[in-house]
Amino acid sequence: MPTVPIGPYRVTRLISGFNPQFGYSHATPLLNQFMLDYFSDQQVVKYMLACEKAGINTWQSNYRASPQRQIPLIREAGCKMNWICLADPWRGSGNENGSLDEIEATKKCAWHARKLNPVGIAYHGMLTDQRWAAGTLDPVKRFIDYVHDLGCPAGISTHIPAVIEYLESKNWAVDFYMACFYRVSRSPQDFVKEIGVETVGEAYLASDPERMIKVIRQTGRTCLAFKILAAGRKCQSPEEVRGAFQYAFKNIKPTDATIVGMVPKFSDQITENVRAVSEITAEGALAQGK
């Protein structure tokens, strides 16, 4: 499995996302509950060991109660995979009473998470997007500086291409971006403004990936592309899944990676996806004469 840099570390071009382990399907409450029921602590440990055995060396998650409980179990089982933390002010920050402002609470989350030796800590994408809409993104630099002071690579996650364009224009000291192929943070008003209609629930626009890919290719920093399968909406067949991987790796940079959540209940998604990424990236390297 090929790797790309995040600071001094190397992460595989397929990174395990953790939304399924949290029961966050981006679909329905029933699917959320199925995921939660499937991913017991013991199953999470088995899943992580299977990812490592297949060749994935990194996973990404937030710092809620379940990772705090599960990461020691994962390490006790002998798993040495890298962890990328998505920091937020809601979980693991000690800010349950809301006494801290958002930036300070997110910094506190990063401080707690640092004890578990992540290879990167990123500012949560929904927070980024909310601040972008409110015109208050600049204070996030305090978070980036703080993570660097902790001795860890610092990233920013977003679902909005213009955010990355702005950060690049200001040359923020960001080590990596987490870049969503689909702008899932649109409000109902955003949909009305862009396409003239409101949607029922979370909607995905087919034109979104092209916009994010454009800014991914324009930055020299490592980008971790996520939602490349549109939160399961592009998984109707093995051919569709492989096509989504091919599209992603054909268009992101050779120094970029993908984050993909997996639920290996009905098929061996881990092995299938590792094989697809290995074959597709090998074909790309061959085409470039490497």
Q: In a 10 Å sphere around its CB, with 0-12 CB exposed, 13-18 middle and 19+ buried, how is residue 164 labelled?
A: buried
What contacts 48, CB < 8 A, 6 or more positions away? 16, 59, 74, 77, 79, 81
Identify each DSSP E strand in 176-247 by its residue range.
176-180, 222-226
Q: Give the containing element (helix H, strand E) for 210.
A: helix 208-218
Q: Does residue 31 have a pLDDT over 90?
A: yes
- Mean pLDDT along residues 11-18: 97
Report the distance separating Cα 204 and Cα 215, nearest Å: 19
Q: Kindly report which listed range (27-31, 94-98, 111-115) carries the lowest average pLDDT score.
A: 94-98
Q: Does residue 289 have a pLDDT over 80?
A: no
The full length of the chain comes to 290
Strand partners, 15: 259
Supply the pLDDT for residue 43.
97
Dump pLDDT digits (tens) for 243-261: 999 999 999 999 999 999 9
Supply the pLDDT for residue 65.
87
What contacts 46, CB < 8 A, 6 or more positions away? none
Q: Does residue 197 have a pLDDT over 70?
A: yes
Closest CA to 178 of 1, 2, 18, 8: 18
Supply the pLDDT for residue 89.
86
Question: How much of the chain exceeds pLDDT 70, in percent?
Answer: 94
**How many domains is the chain built from?**
1
Closest CA to 81 of 9, 30, 21: 9
Q: Quickly count: other Cβ atoms within 10 Å of residue 117's Cβ.
A: 12
- Give the confidence band of 285 by pLDDT, cuts at 50, 70, 90: low
Alpha carbons within 13 angstroms on the beta-carbon side of residue 20 total 22
Q: Does residue 286 have a pLDDT over 70?
A: no
- On average, the pLDDT of the chain sits at 93
Supply the pLDDT for residue 96.
54
Supply the pLDDT for residue 100.
61
Dump pLDDT digits (tens) for 35-76: 999 999 999 999 999 999 999 999 999 998 899 999 999 999
Dump pLDDT digits (tens) for 139-172: 999 999 999 999 999 999 999 999 999 999 999 9
- Give the confidence band of 95 by pLDDT, cuts at 50, 70, 90: low
Q: In a 10 Å sphere around its CB, with 0-12 CB exposed, 13-18 middle and 19+ buried, how is residue 98 labelled?
A: exposed
- Give the confidence band of 131 by pLDDT, cuts at 50, 70, 90: very high
Report the distance separating Cα 176 and Cα 153, nearest Å: 8
- The three-state secondary structure class of 11 is strand
- Give the confidence band of 199 by pLDDT, cuts at 50, 70, 90: confident
Supply the pLDDT for residue 288.
65
- Mean pLDDT along residues 196-223: 94
Residue 268 belongs to what domain range?
3-287
CATH number for the domain harbouring residue 113 = 3.20.20.100
Write the DSSP assignment of 99-121 as a string of letters: -S-HHHHHHHHHHHHHTT--SEE
Supply the pLDDT for residue 51.
98
